[in-house]
């Protein structure tokens, strides 16, 4: 009929309503809209489900090794390919299977291969920057291990979800568990339970007892955090999770309380070892490069073990070999464990960092990465001792610079700085304790943090803090000292210049500009002071007047010395001169131009300490090297001199 209103399919705004009610949707509209959205989502899911198919599992066997390159572009080492030995499920003891299921996915035999709550939790964590690994079922983890890239993206999570559903429909739970156990990352270069059993216990998987199986199951949460051989903190975490998994087996009915009572002693794995391809310094270089890669990109050891990466490092082949030879020569000439028991467990660590940009050009991590796994160049367990005192002086000078600028300093203030400088030369400690009280320990701490030391390596802010109770690594200490050589600017140390994966560049390696930490005038005063200390340490090289190298000293007043350090930057050859009766090179020359100070000559930190494996503390250096080494304090300067003479 002509005057009749045409009926609307969607009654909105609502007819016959006034005011606010006219704009409030009816329950029919809510229901219809919700149903439409669900229908669209279901349709979208169906399309995606059909389009995404299970990839070829054989692609795992074709993965490439990861190649590391020296700074000059030549190949350093090829790591991989994937260390994996597939075994059938009947070769994995039932108690090991149960431990893995109890730890990772207790509902494995009942679920449909996916966890909606886990996916939601992972999505929230991805947005918030939390752990993206949590919440996945064993099926999802198997899919991720076998078919997908390590990228933490929404697209990859959707693929993981769809493929997990399809795998769960097409494969039996036994097949999925077998695949998961054969492809999971356990650390120590091992993919799969068989390789892991050999890496940690030197046995086949079939011979693992329930206690050992519980530890290997604990490693699935992340070997970087739970491999007990990597650090004391790791060991504590591993023990706690091992206990939890055994208790979890009881809770799920997979183990009786009586059997659980048999396993009270933690099953210590064999020591960490490196493959022979990483012998000498190569293993230490790879470790430092990997640490930088993980920090820059968010990748994990598990991701890197998948292979296919090309990693270009900052390491200078010639300098690395020369530093290794310098340590070996000094060790051979001065240390004889068969003759002196004090020489046993003596360890050297060293690192060279380029002042201008922070590139780590060389390091010495130990005698051989395949036999001595702990990286002495990157350990935060050796007190800096007197190597820390220059930062106290620098704090005092910087405070003066900020307070007075170009104005004349009051006599008493200038006297404080001079007293500190003299105390540094004489190896005295009391003035530095007093300086800590005057300056404030927090101010000293803040300066060394800006200069590149890690907060985790710093000691408590107690009276002895200015005396070097903190324990920075050789890499970080060398990096901090570059601040003096670089006109007061500090560049964060780095070990990788670029990286690619299967031909595509990996982001994360852009370098920031060096930050101004000290006034240029303060940096120049510090280089002059350190140069004087350096000449004093190196001129006699073993004589009576060489007992105070630039950074050797007691860790705290009255304590037997447990570490000796030397940190130096060689002056450019064009500005070099030898003082009367002296030997070449130490510290940095204060009279060289800024562009020369910012050149390619690296700052090198060398440390000596004694560390007995398993001992809770470092051993004293008393008697190391015999009576002519000044409690070993002359040995790091000798390494530095040999290193410089070789270059």
User: Looking at the DSSP assignment, which residues form a beta bridge with residue 498?
Assistant: 312
Task: Decide which of 238, 254, 272 is a domain's last residue.
Answer: 272
> Which pLDDT score, from 0 to 100, does residue 546 have?
34
State which residues form the domain around 364. 360-646
> Which pLDDT score, from 0 to 100, does residue 278 have?
86
For residue 355, tell me if it sits in a domain. no
HSE-up (13 A, CA, CB side) for residue 32: 9
Residues 565 and 494 in one domain: yes
Contact assessment for residue 281 and residue 317, using Cβ atoms and an 8 Å cutoff: no
Return the SS3 of 99.
helix
CATH number reported for the structural domain that contains residue 521 in this entry: 3.40.710.10
Q: Which helix (H) or strand (E) holds 504?
A: strand 504-505
Query: Strands, DSSP E only, in 52-198?
Result: 66-69, 75-79, 185-187, 190-191
- Provide the 8-state DSSP code for 518: S
Residues 386 and 504 in one domain: yes
- Geometric angle at alpha carbon 583, from 582 and 585, rounded to 5°: 120
Greater model confidence, 571 or 559: 571
Least confident stretch, 237-251, 286-300, 622-636: 622-636
For residue 75, tell me if it sits in a domain. no
Residues 466 and 541 in one domain: yes
What average pLDDT does range 222-251 have in this prediction? Answer: 93
Task: Decide which of 272, 293, 319 is a domain's last residue.
Answer: 272
Residues 539 and 466 in one domain: yes
- Token pair, residue 82, equals 């994937």
Burial label for 366, CB within 10 Å (0-12, 13-18, 19+), is: buried
User: Looking at the DSSP assignment, which residues form a beta bridge with residue 363?
Assistant: 351
> Hey, how many other C-beta atoms are within 10 angstroms of the C-beta on 237?
18
> Which pLDDT score, from 0 to 100, does residue 402 have?
87
- Token pair, residue 505, equals 């560049």
Q: Please report, rounded to a whole number, the percentage of residues in the chain having pLDDT higher than 70.
A: 74
Contact assessment for residue 189 and residue 199, using Cβ atoms and an 8 Å cutoff: yes
Residues 264 and 125 in one domain: yes
Residues 37 and 87 in one domain: no
Residues 491 and 377 in one domain: yes
CATH number reported for the structural domain that contains residue 151 in this entry: 1.10.3810.10
What average pLDDT does range 490-509 have in this prediction? Answer: 93
For residue 337, tell me if it sits in a domain. no
HSE-up (13 A, CA, CB side) for residue 588: 27
Identify the CA nearest to 136 among candidates 128, 242, 126. 126
Interatomic CA distance for residues 316 and 334, integer angstroms: 27
- Provide the 8-state DSSP code for 359: B
Return the SS3 of 246.
helix
Greater model confidence, 644 or 92: 92
The residues near 142 (Cβ < 8 Å, ≥ 6 apart) are: 164, 167, 176, 179, 180, 183
Interatomic CA distance for residues 175 and 193, integer angstroms: 15
Residues 107 and 32 in one domain: no
Task: Decide which of 237, 272, 307 is a domain's last residue.
Answer: 272
- Token pair, residue 103, equals 């730890």
- Token pair, residue 591, equals 């009279």
SS (H, E, C) 132-153: CCCCCCHHHHHHHHHHCCCCCC
The residues near 229 (Cβ < 8 Å, ≥ 6 apart) are: 235, 269, 271, 272, 373
Residues 165 and 32 in one domain: no
For residue 323, tell me if it sits in a domain. no
For residue 317, tell me if it sits in a domain. no
For residue 294, tell me if it sits in a domain. no
> Which pLDDT score, from 0 to 100, does residue 370 have?
86
Return the SS3 of 491.
coil
Q: What is the pLDDT of residues 385-425, one digit of tens each?
A: 999 999 999 999 999 888 876 665 654 555 577 789 888 88
Least confident stretch, 52-61, 297-306, 530-539, 562-571: 52-61
Return the SS3 of 123.
helix
Q: What is the pLDDT of residues 305-342, one digit of tens each?
A: 778 899 999 999 999 999 999 999 999 999 999 999 99
Return the SS3 of 314.
coil
pLDDT classification of 572: cutoffs 50, 70, 90: very low
Pairing of strands 66-69, 309-313: parallel
Residues 107 and 174 in one domain: yes
Residues 34 and 92 in one domain: no
For residue 378, tell me if it sits in a domain. yes
Q: Which helix (H) or strand (E) holds 389?
A: helix 389-404
Number of folded domains that form the chain: 3
For residue 613, tell me if it sits in a domain. yes
Residues 396 and 523 in one domain: yes
């Amino acid at each position: 009929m002509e005057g009749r209103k045409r009926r609307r399919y969607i009654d909105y705004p609502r007819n016959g309503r006034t005011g606010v009610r006219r704009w409030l949707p009816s329950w029919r509209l809510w229901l219809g809209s919700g149903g439409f959205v669900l229908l669209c989502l279901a349709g979208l899911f169906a399309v995606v489900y059909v389009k995404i198919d299970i990839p070829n599992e054989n692609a795992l066997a074709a993965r490439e090794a990861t190649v590391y390159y020296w700074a000059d572009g030549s190949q350093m080492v090829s790591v991989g390919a994937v260390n994996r030995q597939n075994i059938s499920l009947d070769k994995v003891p039932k108690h090991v299977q149960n431990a893995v299921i109890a730890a990772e996915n207790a509902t494995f035999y009942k679920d449909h291969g996916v966890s909606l709550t886990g996916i939601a939790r992972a999505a929230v964590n991805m947005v918030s920057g939390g752990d993206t690994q949590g919440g996945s079922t064993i099926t999802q983890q198997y899919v991720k291990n076998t078919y997908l890239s390590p990228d933490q993206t929404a697209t990859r999570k959707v693929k993981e979800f769809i493929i997990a559903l399809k795998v769960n429909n097409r494969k039996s739970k036994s097949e999925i568990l077998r695949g998961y156990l054969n492809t999971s990352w356990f650390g120590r270069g091992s993919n799969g339970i068989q390789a892991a059993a050999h890496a940690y216990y030197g046995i086949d998987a079939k011979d693992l007892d329930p206690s050992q199986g519980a530890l290997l199951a604990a490693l699935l949460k992340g070997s970087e955090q739970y491999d007990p051989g990597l650090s004391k903190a790791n060991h504590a975490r591993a023990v706690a999770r091992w206990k939890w998994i055994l208790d979890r087996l009881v809770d799920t009915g997979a183990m009786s309380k009586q059997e659980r009572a048999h396993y009270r002693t933690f099953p210590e794995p064999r020591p960490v070892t490196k493959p022979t391809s990483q012998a000498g310094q190569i293993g230490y270089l790879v470790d430092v490069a990997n640490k930088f890669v993980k920090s820059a990109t968010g990748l994990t050891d598990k991701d890197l073990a998948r292979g296919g990466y090309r990693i270009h490092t900052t390491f200078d082949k010639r300098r690395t070999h020369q530093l290794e030879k310098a340590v070996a020569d000094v060790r051979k000439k001065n240390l004889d464990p068969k003759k002196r028991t004090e020489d046993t467990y003596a360890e050297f660590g060293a690192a060279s960092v380029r002042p201008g940009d922070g590139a780590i050009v060389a390091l010495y991590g130990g005698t051989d990465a395949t036999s001595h796994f702990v990286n002495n160049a990157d350990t935060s367990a050796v007190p800096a001792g007197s190597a820390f005192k220059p930062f106290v002086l620098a704090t005092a000078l910087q405070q003066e610079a900020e307070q007075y600028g170009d104005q004349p300093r009051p006599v008493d203030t200038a006297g404080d700085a001079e007293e500190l400088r003299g105390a540094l030369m004489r190896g005295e400690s009391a003035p530095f304790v007093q300086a800590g009280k005057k300056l404030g320990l927090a101010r000293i701490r803040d300066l060394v943090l800006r200069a590149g030391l890690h907060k985790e390596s710093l000691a408590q802010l107690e009276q002895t803090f200015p005396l070097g109770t903190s324990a920075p690594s050789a890499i970080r200490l060398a990096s901090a000292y570059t601040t003096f050589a670089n006109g007061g600017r500090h560049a964060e140390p780095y070990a990788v210049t670029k990286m690619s994966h299967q031909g595509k560049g990996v982001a994360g390696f852009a370098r920031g500009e060096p930050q101004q930490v000290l006034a240029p005038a303060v940096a120049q005063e510090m280089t002059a002071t350190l140069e004087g200390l350096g000449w004093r340490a190196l001129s006699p090289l073993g004589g009576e007047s060489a007992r105070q190298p630039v950074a050797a000293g007691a860790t705290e007043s009255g304590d037997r010395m447990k570490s000796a350090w030397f940190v130096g930057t060689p002056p450019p050859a064009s500005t070099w001169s030898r003082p009367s009766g002296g030997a070449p090179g130490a510290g940095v020359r204060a009279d060289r131009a800024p562009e020369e100070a910012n050149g390619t000559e690296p700052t090198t930190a060398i440390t000596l300490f004694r560390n007995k494996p398993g001992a809770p503390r470092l051993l004293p250096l008393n008697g190391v090297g015999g009576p002519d080494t000044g409690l070993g304090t002359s040995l790091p300067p000798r390494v530095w001199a040999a290193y410089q003479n070789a270059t």
